[in-house]
Amino acid sequence: MNQNNSGSVLVVGAGDAIGSAIVRRFAREGYSVIGVRRKGEQLQPLVDELNAKGLKTYGWTCDARKEEEVVELMERIESEIAPLDTVIFNVGANVPLKVLETTSRKFQKIWEMACYAGFLTGREAARHMLPRGKGTILFTGATASVRGAAGFGAFAMAKHGLRAWVQSMARELGPQNIHVGHLIIDAAVDTPWIQENVLKGVSDRKSDDIVNPDSIAEVFWQMKEQKRDAWTFEQDLRPWVERW
Chunk the chain into consecutive blocks of 10 residues (it has 244) and report each block's average pLDDT, rounded to whole numbers. 78 94 97 96 96 97 98 98 98 90 95 97 98 98 93 94 98 98 90 73 79 95 97 95 82
- The answer to whether the CB of 71 falls within 8 A of the CB of 124 is yes
CB 77, CB 128: distance < 8 Å: no
Q: What is the predicted pLDDT for the residue at 1?
A: 55
* Positive/negative CA dihedral, 38, 181, 58, 185: positive
Please tell me the predicted confidence (pLDDT) of residue 4. 62
DSSP string of 162-211, one letter each residue: HHHHHHHHHHHHGGGTEEEEEEEE-S-B--HHHHHHTSTT-----TT-SB
Collapsed DSSP state (helix, strand, coil) of residue 8? strand
**Residue ranges per structural domain of the chain:** 8-237
Its pTM stands at 0.94
Identify the CATH class of 8-237. Answer: alpha beta
Nearest-angstrom CA–CA distance, 196 and 92: 19
pLDDT of residue 2: 58
Which of 157, 35, 132 lies closest to 88, judged by CA?
35
**Nearest C-alpha neighbor of 180 from the set 129, 218, 216:** 129
pLDDT at 243: 81
